[in-house]
Amino acid sequence: MRTPRFLASLLVFPLLAGCTSSSSMDVLQLQRPSMETTSAISTAPVPPADIASVLAEIDEQPQMASVTDAGSASPQPPVPLAALASAPRPSKAAALLGGISVSPRQFRDAKPIDFGRSSPKNLAVHGVDVSRWQGNIDWQRLRSQGANFAYIKATDGGDHLDPMFKTNWRLAKAAGLRRGAYHFFYWCRVASDQADWFIRNVPRDPDALPPVIDVEYNGQSSCKRRLSPEKVREKMQVFMDRLEKHYGKRPVIYTAPDFYKDNLRGAFLDYPFWLRAVAQHPSKVYPGREWVFWQYSGSGLSHGVTGKIDLNVFHGTEEQWRRWLGVQKMMAKAD
């Protein structure tokens, strides 16, 4: 989700730039005591749900892919074990799972990486993430190239809306992609204000993917604050609680290796993660962390987009993708 250098350079979990503004508002907020308090910060592990029984209730077919090591050549990739910790337990979901087609991956990569047996090519459901920097996208052609889902940049901080968001949001759905919106989090802005800004601009849609909070470092930002890991997690929790209450879906956390190492190791174990790992498999970069989405390239090439695009993959089979979408929809409707 990084912008070009010259410009500033989620399975079934219960449930993706920088502070560019140097306004007096940000300066005043640096001087105010924090009003962002919450008692819901997750620090302890959440017991994994009985995945087999939950999925069996969804479609009355309890067959599950085996959980294997990331480097295994198993034809059915593992499903993260914390996936269903707080998901509703429906009796059936056949109606929710119908009509979801999966197109095979046809992307190319300007800087391909050999991931060996753990290559993202071995996973079934691929997608992209986009922002204004991709310009005018031919979503129909992008879909035909194997983009089954798209996370679309929506907002930054508390006052910036990506100028292409509304267009991309509409056209991605019309082309048949499963779409979601992400917010780039500013560390110099109040978390609740950022959540309200996202909610103001991103419609509620039961079919949408869970919202994403994008947390990472941005060396080009005018915001030079480096908060403690405790404060980082506090601000994130305030933002995520607000979004979950509004959309009925637990937000996905997108992050990069350096930020994760400093702030998120061992935290938010009951949240879905979307991990950036463009040189090694996530199991090597984020040991022990389960994930729903993997951003495996920032140099993808595809018909329908001028220039490069981020490439991503879902951690599961086609059937698990359909089941996950069904549960997400039920969670939103049950709210």
* Domain at 240, CATH number: 3.20.20.80
- Is 234 known to be catalytic? no
Predicted confidence (pLDDT) per residue in 203-261, tens digit: 999 999 999 999 999 877 778 778 999 999 999 999 999 999 999 999 999 999 999 99
Portion of the chain with pLDDT greater than 70, in percent = 70
The average confidence (pLDDT) of the chain is: 79
Model confidence at 1, in pLDDT bands (50, 70, 90)?
Answer: confident
Residue 79, domain member (yes or no)? no
DSSP label of 104: P
Residue 36, domain member (yes or no)? no
Residue 264, domain member (yes or no)? yes
Is this structure's pTM higher than 0.85?
Answer: no
Residue 228 tokens read as 């403690």
Residue 239, domain member (yes or no)? yes
Quick check: 92 pLDDT over 80?
no
Quick check: 20 pLDDT over 60?
no
pLDDT of amino acid 174: 97
* Segment 82-91 mean pLDDT: 37
Predicted confidence (pLDDT) per residue in 177-193, tens digit: 999 999 999 999 999 99
Q: Which of 160-174, 270-284, 290-304, 320-334 has the lowest mean pLDDT?
A: 320-334
Owning domain of residue 142: 5-9+103-317
Residue 82, domain member (yes or no)? no
Number of domains in the chain: 1
CA 163 remoteness from chain centre: 20
* Cβ neighbours for 304, distance < 8 A, ≥ 6 positions apart: 137, 138, 139, 140, 141, 142, 143, 144, 145, 147
Portion of the chain with pLDDT greater than 90, in percent = 66
Which residue, among 45, 43, 80, has the nearest Cα to 291 in the 3D structure? 80
Burial of 281 (0-12, 13-18, 19+ CB in 10 A): buried
Residue 204, domain member (yes or no)? yes
* Segment 136-147 mean pLDDT: 96
pLDDT of amino acid 81: 36
Q: Are 24 and 305 in contact (CB under 8 A)?
A: no
Residue 191, domain member (yes or no)? yes
* Segment 312-316 mean pLDDT: 98
Residue 53, domain member (yes or no)? no
Model confidence at 327, in pLDDT bands (50, 70, 90)?
Answer: very high
pLDDT of amino acid 87: 37
Catalytic position from the list 57, 216, 230, 318: 216
